[in-house]
Structure 1
């Protein structure tokens, strides 16, 4: 098959947002702050965006399904939630979250900042406007952490007692691909965001590079052998594992909304440059199953193993055609628990002589 160098990779519509909150009461995070905030954001979306600001309590046949729910026409939730992936599981929009502040305790008046990436349908600016309106309706822009006590009470009642406080949404800023940032929401201002495509660029230059990958948050990687899952250690980490993680996460996210995401004419060349054997082709009908498996990182904090490793890893003889994928991984993160802020890394790239 002849490949046109101008043929783009499937792109993912996305929004990169920075949210600023003020603690309206003394607030304590008793578990990993990234996971708490991610679940908090997801729970607020579910509780508020499903027309609850209008008093909707419909839970009959077809509820939360935009194709059958009688309230779907004006419903914020069905506009931004992902399609059903089974008869009982509905994925939230894909979030990637990181916190810029390492503190666990926030006194009244202190500010908390974190960033999220919204992919696919959640990347639609009109849907974001609905989401902001829904969040705005909760107690004058307040998020309550009280419902998180349910996660801690079974095994950690002393931690449940310390989980309290409220966060008030103050500002939302959008990051553009070039790195600049602009405010799109404040207490008295809203501007519809711009939706940008996220896709790796293609580089045909035969140059090779030395690449250093430094993990700034723990990376959680598992391998299944003999029917058992084993948590990987730094000794298990290599370039093939890094590339497979980036490629798999990109394809699973692209497969949510792109009908042709499973077919990539550059597939064989990519794996050849990475020095790996291409994986089996994946049928389009399997995409939702893959997404469900890879992004089901929610809800029960007590049962999740939050271990991971950090450190720096250097790889030489890296093809120029793979650099764009490594840079893409800086945004997508790798491994499990990425929606909780895990697997974030920074690159240091040097051209080889």
Structure 2
């Protein structure tokens, strides 16, 4: 969940996102069943009970603001209304985006990007793109059974020409408890807004996909989530 709430009273709603990729999409019914059973068992120290109300599929951006949503499962009907056929990652051009020379990103959860073996807090576009391209390539190969066929060196070289126009990023220290290791883990990263400038046409499909799959270390449990801001979004 993106909200910071840790305590929920009776009648309050908790909304969270789950991203399934490639072969994992076929297991969506099992995830739904698991969350329903988890609600009966209880969650947290007090084992608070909950019920699964509905599941929505989030699609690409609409022509207006926001992303499309479609209810595919509800507690009333208990019928999954979705084609579960999985396919390789689609990197076709994103027609809903214009191709302006300016890119504005909002990092919503701590983002941990490595370059030359070290975590970076001074974000350059090529560092973001290297990490994103690597994640997309690995997901495509291991989860979708399809090798990503792009000019890696050419794209990375092109990404090095993109400049940072404005940065309002800040480091956010975040901790999580690891039951397996029985210890608290520090997983801080940067959050906030950054604006890049340059010839961005080649990068829009990857950046759009990154909104859904996140980027950087810890992305499997929610880190590295960002949104592409439109020109009419708040500064």
Q: How does 1:288-307 map to 2 (within 5 A)?
A: 299-300=180-181, 302-307=183-188
**Counterparts in 2 of 1:219 and 1:257: CA distance versus 1, 3 Å:** closer
Question: Aligned match of 2:91 in 200, 203, 214?
Answer: 200
The alpha-carbon deviation at position 329 of structure 1 amounts to: 1.5
Aligned residue in 1 for 2:29 = 129
Q: How far is the alpha carbon of 1:303 from its aligned partner? A: 4.3
Return the alpha-carbon distance in structure 1 between the equivalents of residues 75 and 209 of structure 2: 33
Q: Does 1:209 align with 2:104?
A: no
Q: Partners in 1 of 2:146 and 2:24 — Cα distance?
A: 19
Give the Cα separation in 2 of the matches to 1:112 and 1:306: 23
Give 1:109's aligned residue: 11
Give the corresponding residue for 1:232: 120
1:104: how far off? 1.4
Distance (Å, rounded) in 1 between the aligned partners of 2:92 and 2:5: 37
Q: Which residue of 2 aligns with 1:77?
A: none
Alpha-carbon distance between aligned partners in 2 of 1:333 and 1:134, rounded to the nearest angstrom: 24
TM-superposed CA distance for 1:274, in Å, is 2.0
Alignment of 1:1-353 (within 5 A): 99-124=1-26, 127-136=27-36, 138=37, 141-146=39-44, 164-178=47-61, 179-189=67-77, 190-195=79-84, 198-202=89-93, 209-223=101-115, 225=117, 230-233=118-121, 236-261=122-147, 264-275=149-160, 299-300=180-181, 302-348=183-229
TM-score in terms of structure 2 length: 0.71
CA contact (8 A) 1:145 1:163 kept: yes
Q: CA deviation at 1:211?
A: 1.4
**Per-residue deviation, 1:111:** 1.1
- CA contact 1:223–1:232 (8 Å) conserved in 2: yes
1:22 maps to: none
How big is the shift at 1:322? 1.1
Cα deviation for residue 244 of structure 1 reads 0.7
- Structure number with higher relative contact order (C-alpha < 8 Å, ≥ 6 residues apart): 1
- Of stretches 106-115 and 338-347 in structure 1, the one that deviates more from structure 2 is 338-347
The separation in 2 between residues aligned to 1:221 and 1:143, in whole angstroms, is: 37
Structure showing the higher helix proportion among its residues: 1
Structure 2: give runs of 5+ residues left out of the alignment: 62-66, 162-177
Unmatched tracts of structure 1, length 5 or more? 1-98, 147-161, 277-296
Question: How big is the shift at 1:237?
Answer: 1.2
Give the deviation of 1:231 after TM superposition. 3.8
How many Å separate the matches in 2 of 1:142 and 1:174? 24
Instruction: Name the CA distance, whole Å, in 2 between partners of 1:223 and 1:268.
Output: 16
Shift of 1:253: 1.0
2:165 match: none
Q: Aligned partners of 1:301, 1:343: CA distance in 2, in Å?
A: 24
Helix, strand or coil at the partner of 1:304 = strand
Secondary structure, in 3 states, of the residue corresponding to 1:256?
helix
> RMSD between aligned alpha carbons?
3.0
Contact between 2:125 and 2:160, CA under 8 Å: does it hold in 1? no
CA spacing shift, 1:194–1:312, aligned 2, 3 Å: same
How many residues matched?
203
CA change 1:269–1:201 in 2 (3 A) is farther
**Kept in 1: contact 2:24–2:143 (CA 8 A):** no
